[in-house]
Structure 1
Amino acid sequence: MSTDLFCEIIAGERPAYVVSSDEVAVSFLDTRPVFKGHVLVVPRVHVETLTDLGDVGPFFERVRAMARAVEQGLGAGGTFVAMNNRISQSVAHLHVHVVPRNKKDGLRGFFWPRTKYDSDEEAQEYAGRVSGAL
């Protein structure tokens, strides 16, 4: 098994604000979110890119559910759902970004400014709000 950052989170070897976890995928807050509540959905099996993933259906069912949960749990107007394959992929493990969006939130194109949570408690509160909407 690979020892990338996401594999360590999946194995419980590295802490994360987990929003959802099942036999297909693990979802957790991005530590450098574009907006608070930004979730990463990663397949439990280690694959580097989308083309490496076998049956994409079950994984994207989880991505779809997370997009709905981010909107509902955070009262967001919508979501930005994106992934990189190799280029600009900061961790070599397939991951989908689910970013809460609202009109006039300042996000333009593919420039992703990053923010931070004010505290562990604030991050846990955001994770709980999204998880509660699943």
Structure 2
Amino acid sequence: MASCIFCKIVKGEIPSFKLFESDKTLAFLDVQPLSRGHALVIPKHHGEKLTDIPDEYLTELLPVAKKLAIATGAVEYNILQNNGKGAHQEIGHVHVHMIPKPRPEQGLGIRWPTQPTEMDKLKELHEELAAKMQE
């Protein structure tokens, strides 16, 4: 996509601090980091959401994020991937964040608002989703 900042980085139109590059994947330092070593891993195929990306462009995302975690020496870290503005995605191109968490005040801060569930409803949902996964 012509106006996508990540596509421009892939094409070399915008400079980046590249950490890894292959024919399908690019990793670079985040220019607005939450902590030292915060990096992004992107597929070179443009797609806004994970479901828009062909599987062959997804195979390196987590292995590269793992290598970044090792390279930074992070003992604790978050691997984050958001889909859609409502899910806090700011750039409309799939990307995975590797965010070191060296101290409580650095890195990603999150809330995890769990919801009570009824086992009968959970069983129904399980059956529905398990059937769809077989399609």
Q: Same fold (TM over 0.5)?
A: yes
Kept after mapping to 1: 8 A contact 2:69/2:100: yes
The one-letter code matched in structure 1 to 2:110 is G
Please name the residue that 1:47 is paired with: 47
Specify every segment of 5 or more residues in structure 2 that has no aligned partner in the other structure, as ranges: 112-135
Give the aligned length: 107
Specify every segment of 5 or more residues in structure 1 that has no aligned partner in the other structure, as ranges: 111-134
Kept after mapping to 1: 8 A contact 2:6/2:93: yes
Q: 1:81 to 1:24 in 2, by over 3 A?
A: same
1:58 is displaced (CA, Å) by: 5.1
Please name the residue that 1:113 is paired with: none
- Please, what TM-score do these two structures have when normalized by structure 1? 0.71
Higher relative contact order (CA 8 A, sep 6+): 1
Please name the residue that 1:70 is paired with: 68
Identical aligned pairs, as a percentage?
A: 32
- Alignment partner of 2:14: what SS? coil
In 2, the alpha carbon distance for the partners of 1:71 and 1:93 equals: 22
The one-letter code matched in structure 1 to 2:74 is A
The one-letter code matched in structure 2 to 1:71 is A
Please name the residue that 1:109 is paired with: 110
Kept after mapping to 1: 8 A contact 2:77/2:99: yes
Kept after mapping to 1: 8 A contact 2:69/2:98: no
1:66 is displaced (CA, Å) by: 2.7
Query: In angstroms, what is the RMSD of aligned CA positions?
Result: 1.8
Which protein shows a greater Rg?
2
Please name the residue that 1:84 is paired with: 82
In 1, the alpha carbon distance for the partners of 2:50 and 2:20 equals: 20
Moved over 3 A (4+): none
Greater mean alpha carbon deviation, residues 64-73 or residues 32-41: 64-73
